[in-house]
A = this chain, B = another copy of it.
């Protein structure tokens, strides 16, 4: 950790103490539990008992924090024995649980005090809280299980952040504001793209017609690009017998991540959490000649994973995941070419979506931890070598990390920095040496002999559809490029007498492949134009006598101040070419 980072962590951890101190002053009945620094801030979890605390209370708590901190000159440390610690926290069962555990592990128990507030703590604070703890803000409140387990009591977590300077704090808060504006849940609702229905269940996305258009367009893009690269498509069921998942190893190793078993009259079934086992079964369904490899098998499949309901959020954490998934079955001498093709596909996608802040991370095995990896040293060396070669030849930005590979082979992660500064792994390309043995993958070589060295590349460059859509919503802030926009042109008839003509025009454009909506509400033109702008529709045309007469159209272009004056023919050709070329 750099010195800067350590200072920031100490600052934020100290601020968590300050939060707890303020809460204990205001709510003496509350029980405090733990309060660590985290990325971008800190939190503290409280058991408020019967007292209702909401985000409305945060300003009051913040005020109390400012009041208290003036008397915090430093943190003093005091070592205590188990009995002393238990006595100090005699009315707090959470701290007692921690104390007993720490003591059992032989840890030294220490109390840290600042002002009149003392907490069980391992240390790591700022030296001069009254001077340094100034630029903080409480942000939000959420439920959190004690120690993260849904078997325990639900506590109240208060999130906050803290920076060394007011400028940095304000910059961060501004970014959070921007993130809120771009929030995929907010825009998803405003644009009627999707919703989560309590009666259907958490983490299960209901795609509304407009969201479904975006889904279909992305899927069509994938179909086109993959077809060019020689992929074939299959469709497999959303479930299988346990035999399949025992063969793949998902059972028992991944059982917790899978939906519960369904016992039928002919065996036990599970929903699939991944598409690979089904694809492998298609591969072995018939014999393959060396000429047929590489076999690139794609599916737009939906898988289901059992996440705790409390962790589910919007499109980012779901239980049902749709993805443009594929598995490439190839010979050892084809790994390099195939990996390169996948990389080209990824880069093509990203340039199309104008995504720029990304780099690759090559995760390798470690000869020091052989127990973690499948025992095929030659394949490891060979494969890592060719992956590196490709990354170098393609001249892309990449880092290498040791001891981070999957059990079954090296992988390349695509790392992203989103428009609001969040770093995340967008997708992963994995090489798999294990499937050939588990599933008996093989091919007949040119001498007629059976060869069992079939390598599998797992790839889903567009991540899951849910996650990618959330990412794109944020990326475009809801201003979809024309080809993805659920409505491409909105017609706003000047009065009721123009509605029929507008509908007629909409039908005409629709037949050309343009998505047009007519706003036939009995409202003012101003209102209609404002609504369309709120929906971030690329083109809005106020449709009245002039437009019907064949004169040039005046077109409102999203994000531009001046209207566009253009003949119908030229405008239609412009829109069609933007769709065709997926401009954006």
Chain B residues whose CB sits within 8 angstroms of the CB of A286 once the complex forms:
192
**Minimum CB distance partner of A243 in chain B:** B199
How near does chain B come to A206, taking the closest CB pair, in angstroms?
6
Chain B residues whose CB sits within 8 angstroms of the CB of A236 once the complex forms:
200, 206-207
Chain B residues whose CB sits within 8 angstroms of the CB of A322 once the complex forms:
235
Segment from A24-32, A95-103, A264-272 that makes contact with B:
A264-272
Q: Does A263 contact B (CB under 8 A)?
A: yes
- In the bound complex, do residue B233 and residue A212 qualify as a contact, i.e. CB atoms below 8 Å apart? yes
Chain B residues whose CB sits within 8 angstroms of the CB of A195 once the complex forms:
285
Q: Does A278 contact B (CB under 8 A)?
A: yes
Number of copies: 2
Q: Does A332 contact B (CB under 8 A)?
A: no
Question: 0/1 per residue, A213-241, Cβ < 8 Å to B?
Answer: 10110000000000000001111111111
- In the bound complex, do residue B260 and residue A201 qualify as a contact, i.e. CB atoms below 8 Å apart? no
**Minimum CB distance partner of A281 in chain B:** B197
A322 and B236 alpha carbons, distance in the complex (Å)? 11
- In the bound complex, do residue B320 and residue A238 qualify as a contact, i.e. CB atoms below 8 Å apart? yes
Main secondary structure on chain A at its contact with chain B?
A: mixed
Within the complex, which residue of B199, B207, B216 is in contact with A240, where a contact is CB–CB below 8 Å?
B199
Q: Does A204 contact B (CB under 8 A)?
A: yes
A240 and B200 alpha carbons, distance in the complex (Å)? 4
- In the bound complex, do residue B204 and residue A239 qualify as a contact, i.e. CB atoms below 8 Å apart? yes
Within the complex, which residue of B192, B202, B209, B281 is in contact with A199, where a contact is CB–CB below 8 Å?
B281
- In the bound complex, do residue B269 and residue A264 qualify as a contact, i.e. CB atoms below 8 Å apart? no
- In the bound complex, do residue B244 and residue A200 qualify as a contact, i.e. CB atoms below 8 Å apart? yes
A200 and B280 alpha carbons, distance in the complex (Å)? 11
Q: Does A181 contact B (CB under 8 A)?
A: no
**Minimum CB distance partner of A200 in chain B:** B240
Q: Does A150 contact B (CB under 8 A)?
A: yes
Q: Does A247 contact B (CB under 8 A)?
A: yes
- In the bound complex, do residue B265 and residue A309 qualify as a contact, i.e. CB atoms below 8 Å apart? yes
A243 and B520 alpha carbons, distance in the complex (Å)? 37
How near does chain B come to A556, taking the closest CB pair, in angstroms?
23
How near does chain B come to A441, taking the closest CB pair, in angstroms?
14
Chain B residues whose CB sits within 8 angstroms of the CB of A397 once the complex forms:
none
Within the complex, which residue of B199, B204, B241 is in contact with A200, where a contact is CB–CB below 8 Å?
B241
- In the bound complex, do residue A235 and residue B212 qualify as a contact, i.e. CB atoms below 8 Å apart? yes
Chain B residues whose CB sits within 8 angstroms of the CB of A216 once the complex forms:
233
Q: Does A468 contact B (CB under 8 A)?
A: no
- In the bound complex, do residue A234 and residue B212 qualify as a contact, i.e. CB atoms below 8 Å apart? yes
Q: Does A114 contact B (CB under 8 A)?
A: no
Within the complex, which residue of B208, B240, B285 is in contact with A208, where a contact is CB–CB below 8 Å?
B285
Which of A260-303 touch B at CB < 8 Å? 260, 262-267, 269, 271, 278, 281-282, 285-286, 291, 297, 302
How near does chain B come to A409, taking the closest CB pair, in angstroms?
23
Q: Does A308 contact B (CB under 8 A)?
A: yes
User: A199 with B244: in contact, given A206-B278, A260-B264, A520-B291 (CB under 8 Å)?
Assistant: yes
Q: A-side interface residues toward B, CB under 8 Å? A: 150, 192, 195, 197-202, 204-209, 212-213, 215-216, 232-241, 243-244, 247, 259-260, 262-267, 269, 271, 278, 281-282, 285-286, 291, 297, 302, 304, 306, 308-310, 320, 322, 520
A197-B281, A259-B264 are known contacts; what are 13 more A-B pairs with Cβ within 8 Å? A199-B240, A199-B241, A201-B237, A206-B234, A206-B236, A206-B285, A209-B232, A209-B297, A212-B233, A238-B304, A262-B271, A264-B306, A265-B309
